[in-house]
Amino acid sequence: MKYLDEYRDAAATAAIADQIRREVTRPHVVMEVCGGQTHAILRYGLDRMLPPEVELVHGPGCPVCVTALETIDRAHAIAQRPGVIFTSFGDMLRVPGSHGDLLGLRARGADVRIVYSPLDAVELARAHRDRPVVFFGIGFETTAPANAMALIAARRGGVANFSMLASHVLVPPAIASILQSRDNRVGAFLGPGHVCAITGARAYASLVARYRVPIAITGFEPVDLLRGVLAVVRQLEAGRAELENAYARSAPLAGNPAARAALAEVFEVVDRNWRGIGAIPKSGYRIAEAYRAHDADRIFDVGEIATREPEACISGRVLRGVAKPSECPAFGRTCTPATPLGATMVSAEGACAAYYQHRRTA
Amino acid sequence: MCLAIPGEIVDVVERSGMRFGRVRFGGVTREVCLEYQPDSAVGDFVLVHVGFAIAKIDADEAARQWELLRELAPEGEEL
Ligand code: SF4
């Protein structure tokens, strides 16, 4: 496939890795922010192609992982309401709440359905006017515009039985919180290319200026990922801190104005609790007042939900790049993808699950 | 979760006041919402995420990046 296969070319990937090896003179810690990037790095073994000086640590960019347990429990409570059709992207189905997962609820009779696009959930609501259809709207800035359009379509089309349980998270405040923490080790970031395709680069330029940290906006294929690593290693070696775009073909610095307009119409920025990390100011979207008729949080009064995370789990430190999954005593023993104890094991894109799947144990 | 796949727009249609198109990914064709790519046209390559075209792929930028990468290749090796 054009714009895909050539970026997986082994010779090109190796040439960039060699170049990094030629240029590096001292240790650097580089964080890729996005869980999709983490997954690709381990899948293609890019971490093993890099010279030992370049250490990749894995950021908080797995929306499934960082969705608060309380939100998952809230989703499960709504999915069990009589008559509800509960829709979600496939990757939320196996995420355990305090009492099992959506697949388990479905086995016990709840009407839980996977959709490919949030617009499919709106279509489902049109086809079942007598039943509430709820969509579980999570994701970063990449996914939020799609979810926003579902709300716009429902309102425009008068699809009153469609609602969304929305819990979006935003990348730049999470990067800022990592840089502000006292135990931060990260010296440079690979910026999340598909998030930037929507938001543009402005927030990342501010982070670079404020924290004097190199950031290279980076894609998701092996050539793209190592190209991003090369860009930040060069900067670190030269003592520079700049915003670079290593993914210019798909992530223009201006982002996507049409998508941003929809975000501004449908959502408002709120403080958000990140699973494993805790509260980060102004780091999420909730549904704005004008769309309250489609806000599942307001429609279904689920009440207070108290949750507790296992104490053994160090995913908060994993998500900030302070610890590697393999340093967790529970990793691969009591905690596996089939029996996840914490945030970073619940999704294939979480660092713990990716390490487990690709056998990075040492 | 932020996975997005490049594909080629093969036609554009209007449905319930929204812009859609069929996008070809290798051998598979899917309907994609083009509301966020109002200027896109048949033949454009777009990046598709959960049924939405979120970006148009810039062929000139792609070519420029390969130029930069080719400079890294050892003598006589083709990237
Ligand atoms: S291996 Fe499991 S318990 Fe340990 S940090 Fe990862 S998710 Fe938490």
CB-based contact A3 B57, cutoff 8 Å: yes
pLDDT of res. B79: 55
Ligand 1: does its nearest atom lie under 6 Å from the Cβ of A124?
no
Using the atom order of ligand 1, give the atom closest to the CA of residue A329: 4
Any chain B CB within 8 A of the CB of A146? yes
CB-based contact A197 B4, cutoff 8 Å: yes
- 10 Å Cβ neighbour count for A297? 18
Position A98: which residue type?
S
* pLDDT, mean over chain A: 94
pLDDT of res. A311: 81
* Residue whose CA lies nearest to ligand 1 atom number 1: A331
CB-based contact B47 A197, cutoff 8 Å: yes
In contact, A54 and A229? CB cutoff 8 Å: yes
Smallest Cβ distance to B33: which of A149, A195, A347? A149
> What percentage of chain A carries pLDDT values higher than 70?
100
For residue B54, what is the DSSP state? E
pLDDT over threshold 90, residue A190: yes
Angle among Cα A144, A148, A153 to the nearest 5 degrees reads: 150
Angle among Cα A167, A171, A173 to the nearest 5 degrees reads: 95
In contact, A101 and A339? CB cutoff 8 Å: no
Any chain B CB within 8 A of the CB of A162? no
Using the atom order of ligand 1, give the atom closest to the CA of residue A342: 7
- 10 Å Cβ neighbour count for B79? 18
For residue B31, what is the DSSP state? E
CB-based contact A142 B1, cutoff 8 Å: yes
pLDDT of res. A276: 84
For residue A292, what is the DSSP state? G
Helix (H) / strand (E) element for A88: namely strand A85-88
A32-80 pLDDT, tens digit per residue, is 999 999 999 999 999 999 999 999 999 998 898 899 999 999 999 999 9
Sheet holding A133-139, edge to edge: A111-114, A85-88, A133-139, A162-169, A278-287, A267-274
CA gap A226, A120 in Å, rounded: 36
Residue B74: band (very low, low, confident or very high) from pLDDT cuts 50, 70, 90: low
A115-126 pLDDT, tens digit per residue, is 999 999 999 999
Any chain B CB within 8 A of the CB of A350? no
Any chain A CB within 8 A of the CB of B39? no
Ligand 1: does its nearest atom lie under 6 Å from the Cβ of A355?
no
A270-305 pLDDT, tens digit per residue, is 999 998 888 999 999 999 999 999 999 999 988 888
pLDDT over threshold 90, residue A310: no
- Using alpha carbons, list the distances in angstroms from residue B8 to A239, B30, B53: 41, 10, 10
Q: Which residues in chain B touch residue A246, judged by CB atoms under 8 angstroms apart?
A: 65
Structural domains of chain B in order of their starting residue, each with its CATH number: 5-72 (2.30.30.140)
pTM given for the model: 0.93
- Using alpha carbons, list the distances in angstroms from residue B20 to B14, B35, B42: 6, 7, 11
CA gap A120, A139 in Å, rounded: 17
For residue B74, what is the DSSP state? -
Which of A8, A117, A171, A221 is best to mutate for the B interface (most B CBs within 10 A)? Answer: A117
B51-60 pLDDT, tens digit per residue, is 999 999 999 9
Q: How far is A45 from chain B (nearest CA, A)?
A: 19
CA gap A174, A219 in Å, rounded: 19
Ligand 1 probe mutation, A95, A314, A356, most atoms within 8 A of CB: A314
CA of A40 to the centre of ligand 1 (A): 20
Using the atom order of ligand 1, give the atom closest to the CA of residue A317: 5
Residue A24: band (very low, low, confident or very high) from pLDDT cuts 50, 70, 90: very high
Smallest Cβ distance to A11: which of B51, B64, B79? B79
Smallest Cβ distance to A1: which of B26, B58, B64? B26
Ligand 1: does its nearest atom lie under 6 Å from the Cβ of A312?
yes
pLDDT of res. B76: 47
A314-327 pLDDT, tens digit per residue, is 988 898 889 999 99
CA gap A98, A73 in Å, rounded: 6
CA gap B79, B66 in Å, rounded: 9
Among residues 214-253 of chain A, which lie with CB inside 8 Å of chain B?
220, 223, 227, 246, 248-252
Which of A18, A141, A221, A249 is best to mutate for the B interface (most B CBs within 10 A)? Answer: A249
Give the three-state DSSP class for B76.
coil
In contact, A112 and A120? CB cutoff 8 Å: no
How far the first Cα of chain A sits from its last, in Å, is 35
Beta strands, E only, chain B: 5-15, 18-25, 28-33, 45-49, 52-56
- Using alpha carbons, list the distances in angstroms from residue B39 to A196, A258, A336, B44, B56: 19, 11, 46, 10, 9
The angle, 0 to 180 degrees and rounded to 10, between the axes of the packed helices A35-43 and A222-238 is 100
The H helix count followed by the E strand count for chain B is: 1, 5
Helix (H) / strand (E) element for A298: namely helix A296-299
For residue A204, what is the DSSP state? H
pLDDT of res. B3: 86
